[in-house]
Structures are given as structure tokens and as C-alpha cells.
């Protein structure tokens, strides 16, 4: 069974997510360094970012953009040339689904 880790995002000692959500290095890191609640909050933010920017995830550019944001959000790693997506939360609740 998985050990307790110190989550890279919230700093709490918890069980790690335990599975890699992506088939790459970042996915492995999330599986072992991020706790399930933090992963869940990223998924919410990811949805906001996709909707906010109208990202087409079939495009490599859009995937890179999302991964940059993911790394910034979960691990606090932001590439110098990457600008973190900022979402205008004051408009929350005005979006019609």
C-alpha cells in the first residue's frame, strides 16, 4: 500500500494519488507527490482554464499550455516564459452552461 507523502501542493501528510493521470513523467510525479484532494482541485481549475481559453486539447500547443499551468499549480514550477493563466473569479456564476 502506498506510503504517506508530504504533498507538494498543500504540504499535508497524506496518501498520494497513487495513479499516474498522464502517461509521462509529470503523471508519475503526480501519482507519488500529490494528494487526491489537490488533484481534485486541479481538475476543477483545469476545467476553468479550458473553458476560459477555449482550449482545443487536440492541439499540442493547448496541451503544453495546460501542462505549464498544471506544473505551476501543483508543483509551483513555472517556466520563465510561461504566464500562469489567471481567471477572473469575479465573473463566477455569470457563465451559462
C-alpha cell at 29: 510525479
Instruction: Tell me, by CB under 5 A, how many residues bind Zn ion.
Output: 5
Is residue 17 part of the contact set for Zn ion (CB under 5 A)?
Answer: no
Q: How far is the CB of 12 from Zn ion (least distance, A)?
A: 5
Q: Quick check: helix, strand or coil at residue 58?
A: coil
C-alpha cell at 20: 499516474
Contact window for Zn ion (CB under 5 A) among 27-35, 51-59, 75-83, 89-97: 27-35
Q: Determine which helix (DSSP H) or strand (DSSP E) holds 13, and give its type and residue range.
A: strand 13-14
- Candidates 17, 30, 35, 49; binder of Zn ion (CB under 5 A) is 35
Amino acid at each position: 500500500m502506498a506510503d504517506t507523502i508530504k504533498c507538494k501542493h498543500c504540504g499535508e501528510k497524506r496518501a498520494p494519488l497513487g495513479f499516474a493521470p498522464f502517461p509521462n513523467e509529470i503523471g508519475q510525479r503526480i501519482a507519488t507527490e500529490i494528494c487526491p484532494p489537490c488533484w481534485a482541485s486541479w481538475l476543477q481549475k483545469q476545467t476553468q482554464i479550458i473553458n476560459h481559453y477555449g482550449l482545443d486539447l487536440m492541439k499540442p500547443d493547448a496541451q503544453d499550455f495546460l501542462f505549464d499551468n498544471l506544473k505551476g499549480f501543483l508543483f509551483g514550477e513555472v517556466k520563465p516564459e510561461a504566464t500562469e493563466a489567471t481567471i477572473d473569479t469575479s465573473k463566477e456564476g455569470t457563465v451559462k452552461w
